[in-house]
């Protein structure tokens, strides 16, 4: 488990990430991530779906919890992810509306390495990765169901749709 605190923008928050994966089948049927997973599987037909096949109208309840990252290789061969878009739900939890920035500039080195490994595993295995993590923002604790969904942008490019959905206790 990784623990903070680390800094993002001007907000101080701590993050811990569960190493043990969570099965998609264990997500509640009404969870937006479960619905997104079913749609991802439907359009992917057994492999990574293309971004062009994605229709946001099909998963409206999931959109507030999605963060879209674009995979980038630097001239020196380094790997980073560029934040393209962040949904309003996850933005309201994080209380910071950064976009158009590289992940390497927003995370501590330890958490950046973990996040890159998580993203690359989803690409290599051609399937989403699920986990649960605790996030503390301004003294408030959140338990998030986390999902990493790979998409093919073009023949050589990829995007990751990261979801962080607050767990609701029944």
Domain harbouring 83, CATH code:
3.30.450
Q: Is residue 93 part of a domain?
A: yes
More confident call, 11 vs 38: 38
Domain range for 134 is 6-166
Q: Is residue 79 part of a domain?
A: yes
Does the structure show a pLDDT above 70 at 161? Answer: yes
Burial of 167 (0-12, 13-18, 19+ CB in 10 A): middle
Q: Give the residue among 47, 65, 64, 88 at the shortest CA–CA distance from 146.
A: 65
pLDDT of residue 3: 46
Q: Is residue 40 part of a domain?
A: yes
DSSP assignment letter at 102: B
Does the structure show a pLDDT above 70 at 125? Answer: yes
Q: Is residue 1 part of a domain?
A: no
DSSP assignment letter at 31: -
Q: Give the residue among 159, 154, 135 at the shortest CA–CA distance from 146.
A: 135
Residues near 69 by beta carbon (within 8 Å), at least 6 away in sequence: 81, 82, 83, 84, 103, 119, 159, 160, 161, 162
For the entire predicted model, the pTM comes to 0.85
33-73: pLDDT as tens digits: 999 999 999 999 889 999 999 999 999 999 999 999 999 98
Number of domains, the chain: 1
């Amino acid at each position: 488990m990784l623990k903070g605190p680390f800094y993002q923008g001007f907000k101080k928050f701590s993050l811990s990430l569960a190493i043990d994966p969570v099965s998609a089948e264990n997500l509640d049927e009404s969870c937006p991530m479960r619905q997104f997973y079913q749609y991802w599987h439907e359009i992917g037909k057994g492999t990574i779906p293309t971004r062009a096949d994605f229709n946001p109208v099909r998963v409206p309840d999931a959109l507030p919890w999605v963060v879209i990252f674009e995979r980038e290789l630097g001239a020196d061969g380094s790997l980073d992810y560029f934040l393209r878009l962040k949904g309003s739900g996850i933005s309201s939890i994080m209380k910071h509306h950064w976009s158009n920035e590289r992940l390497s500039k927003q995370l501590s080195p330890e958490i950046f390495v973990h996040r890159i490994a998580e993203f690359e595993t989803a690409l290599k295995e051609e399937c989403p990765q699920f986990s649960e993590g605790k996030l503390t923002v301004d003294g408030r604790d959140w338990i998030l169901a986390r999902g990493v969904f790979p998409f093919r942008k073009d023949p050589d490019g990829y995007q990751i749709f990261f979801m962080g959905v607050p767990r609701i206790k029944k």
